[in-house]
Amino acid sequence: MPILSAESSASFWRSLHALSITRILIASVLVLFGGFRINSTYWFDGGLSYRWLCLAYLLLALVFAFFALYRRRHFMLQLLLQIVTDIILISLLYMVAGGMKSGLAILYLFPLASAAILVPLMLALCFASVVSIFLLLQSWFLLIRMEPEVPIMQAGLYGAAFLSAVFVVNRMAAKLISQESLAVRRGHALEMQRAISQLVIDDMDDGVIVVGGDSTVYASNPSAVRKLGIVLEAGSGTSKLSDVPALKPLADAFSAWHEHVDTGSAGFGATAYVMLKPADELAEQDGQIEPLQASSLAVHLRARFVRVNAETLREDRSVIFLQDIAQIENQAQQLKLASMGRLTASIAHEVRNPLSAIAHASALLGEETDNPSQVRLLKIIADNVARMNRMVEDILNLSRKVQSQEMIGLADFLSELKASFSETHGLSGDMIVLSVSDEQQIRFDPLHLREIVLNLLGNALRYASGKPGSIRMFTVPATASRLELHVQDDGTSISPDVRAHLFEPFYTTSSKGTGLGLYLARELCLNNSAMLDYEFHPDVTADGVATTSGRFVISFAVQDR
């Protein structure tokens, strides 16, 4: 018997067990047939009893079935023993029942077909030859005894039929066994490929979600769970992106893309940028908490939609790839900052003294001259020295980490900051409108929060109209675990081209800016487990006109006191 795989060996044992079950059925039928249909003249012939042979055959069939089911050892030995036993008992029954006229010669097909399936061809043909020779010898014996109507022709035909059947069945079985082995090998290869693919998908930084046309989720990898902050019931066919309120932006983007794909619209992009904010009802599912990144704050994702195309695929399936934009931006910014390397440290430590000397010299010259042109040139020097000094201070602030976090009451803190800012810049008391509840508190570094808010107020003052209420600061309790502070002005909204680079270091649209203010503000927010972003929101003007305004939003993670 050739060396077989575990699957093929199990298949052979199942075949042997099926052979044993069939033997039990045949023996049972023979017992019943012998009890009611065999003529009494055939009950005893040469001292052998047909009935006891049938009962013995049934008993042996039960024993063989037991060993095939519970003693799966020495397959070939059990098989050969069963086939030899079948041939011997059927031959005895054949002679006792009256030979060819009993019709029991057809029973030889049972062991011979089993041998043709489960043993090599030569051995199966050997069994068929033994049976054929036995049938011919029995007919020859009757011929010697001068019995009338000796069935020599029938014996020869049976022998030829048995040999032909064994050959055909053996070749068919060999082909099926070969196909089964090939299928097993292909199955192992596919299983290995599936395991490798699953390992790669699970280890990917990008989130992967497999969805149907109605946004039903069928699979997702761990990265998608971390980015979305929710464990979807993958594979159940009951969970949809549209069923989760916090995932509505992603579901809407997917529906819009899917609709354009179905209609065959040309030029429709397969990429969308979405911002997801967690909701309280997503905090717990199935007893497990899966927080969003950045301490359960809003996350910005780049979603890429790809439709699964296959000739034999009947179901509508699409794959959504999710990338964390904040992570990509941070990597780009780190590369940009790393390129400056020691140069920034040199600027921060070596340039301040020359700047101080230049500023002091220009101030002395300004005291000694009244020439307007010289005064104008000295003012240009002073302004650029101040700008360089601010850049040095910003570079130094990039390395600042959280010093001491404490519980801050936003109402008192922002009220004092508003008064100080208005006094410093000579603003009217009603230009900045503050709307913060007294009981709202956050855990933050006070120096960092002061620098962040002053940066945003200075940016708003640059573009505000200067009218009463042109700058607004107000809080929005987004969820029980998240609080938002909005800083808004009535100036023109930031264009999409500028928004794409808004928080990049050294990027500025102002000739007097350093390009580090907003970047520094976001870094300080991240150091305090908060998030700074620029958002569009629907708004209503004083005249009742609905507009869409942009504003800076700080999302605080509210912690237990």
CB proximity list for 236: less than 8 A, separation 6 or greater? none
pLDDT of residue 338: 60
For the record, the structure tokens of 23 come out as: 């033997």
pLDDT of residue 39: 47
pLDDT of residue 48: 52
Residue 530: pLDDT over 70: yes
Helix (H) or strand (E) holding 219: strand 217-220
For residue 322, list its beta bridge partners. Answer: 207, 303
Q: Which of 17-26, 230-239, 530-539 has the lowest mean pLDDT?
A: 230-239
pLDDT of residue 265: 44
Q: Mind listing the pLDDT tens digit for each residue in 351-395?
A: 777 778 888 888 888 777 778 888 788 888 887 787 777 767 766
For the record, the structure tokens of 215 come out as: 């946004």
The C-alpha R_g of the chain, in whole angstroms, comes to 45
More confidently predicted of 558 and 22: 22
- The whole-angstrom separation of Cα 202 and Cα 199 is 5
Q: Which of 47-56, 77-86, 393-402, 527-536 has the lowest mean pLDDT?
A: 393-402
pLDDT of residue 192: 86
Q: Are 4 and 13 in contact (CB under 8 A)?
A: no
Alpha helices for 369-492 (secondary structure H): 372-397, 410-425, 446-463
- Domain at 204-328: CATH architecture: 2-Layer Sandwich (3.30)
Q: What percent of the chain has pLDDT over 90?
A: 0
Which of the four pLDDT bands, split at 50, 70 and 90, describes residue 267?
very low
Classify burial at 148, counting beta carbons within 10 Å of its beta carbon; exposed 0-12, middle 13-18, buried 19 or more: exposed
- The whole-angstrom separation of Cα 329 and Cα 273 is 14
pLDDT of residue 128: 85
CB proximity list for 493: less than 8 A, separation 6 or greater? 536, 548, 549, 550
Rounded alpha-carbon distances, angstroms, from residue 32 to 35, 37, 99, 527, 561:
5, 8, 19, 90, 88
Q: Are 275 and 298 in contact (CB under 8 A)?
A: yes
Q: Could you tell me the sign of the dihedral formed by the alpha carbons of 257, 259, 261, 263, in that order?
A: negative
Which of the four pLDDT bands, split at 50, 70 and 90, describes residue 478?
low
pLDDT of residue 347: 62
pLDDT of residue 238: 47
DSSP, collapsed to helix, strand or coil, labels residue 531 as: strand
Residue 456: pLDDT over 80: yes
The rounded mean pLDDT for the chain is 75
For residue 554, list its beta bridge partners. Answer: 485, 532
As a three-state string, the secondary structure of 458-510 is HHHHHHCCCCCCCEEEEEEEEECCEEEEEEEECCCCCCHHHHCCCCCCCCCCC
Residue 297: pLDDT over 70: no
CA contacts within 13 A on the Cβ side of 127: 31
pLDDT of residue 343: 59
Q: Mind listing the pLDDT tens digit for each residue in 300-320?
A: 788 888 888 766 666 778 888
Q: Are 257 and 272 in contact (CB under 8 A)?
A: yes
Which of the four pLDDT bands, split at 50, 70 and 90, describes residue 348?
low
CB proximity list for 329: less than 8 A, separation 6 or greater? 503, 504
Domains 204-328 and 406-557 share a fold: no
Rounded alpha-carbon distances, angstroms, from residue 528 to 107, 534, 554:
87, 18, 11
pLDDT of residue 290: 42
For the record, the structure tokens of 170 come out as: 């053996």
For residue 546, list its beta bridge partners. Answer: 540
Q: Are 306 and 270 in contact (CB under 8 A)?
A: yes
The residue extents of the domains of the chain are 6-186, 204-328, 342-397, 406-557
Average pLDDT over residues 538-555: 64
User: What's phi and psi for 303, nearest 5 deg?
Assistant: -105, 125
CB proximity list for 240: less than 8 A, separation 6 or greater? 214, 215, 216, 217, 251
pLDDT of residue 47: 41
pLDDT of residue 40: 45
Q: Which of 24-33, 485-494, 538-547 has the lowest mean pLDDT?
A: 538-547
Query: Given the structure tokens 């097993």, which residue do they identify?
Result: 184
Residue 283: pLDDT over 80: no
Q: Are 239 and 217 in contact (CB under 8 A)?
A: yes
pLDDT of residue 249: 82
Q: What percent of the chain has pLDDT over 70?
A: 75
CA contacts within 13 A on the Cβ side of 282: 26
- The whole-angstrom separation of Cα 110 and Cα 20 is 11
- The whole-angstrom separation of Cα 117 and Cα 172 is 8
User: What's phi and psi for 547, nearest 5 deg?
Assistant: -135, 170
Residue 114: pLDDT over 70: yes
pLDDT of residue 89: 83
- The whole-angstrom separation of Cα 280 and Cα 261 is 34
pLDDT of residue 341: 54
pLDDT of residue 340: 55
Which of the four pLDDT bands, split at 50, 70 and 90, describes residue 38?
very low
- Domain at 406-557: CATH architecture: 2-Layer Sandwich (3.30)
Average pLDDT over residues 495-520: 72
pLDDT of residue 289: 37
Q: Mind listing the pLDDT tens digit for each residue in 144-178?
A: 776 666 677 777 788 888 888 888 888 888 888 78
CA contacts within 13 A on the Cβ side of 501: 10
Which of the four pLDDT bands, split at 50, 70 and 90, describes residue 511?
low
Residue 280: pLDDT over 50: no
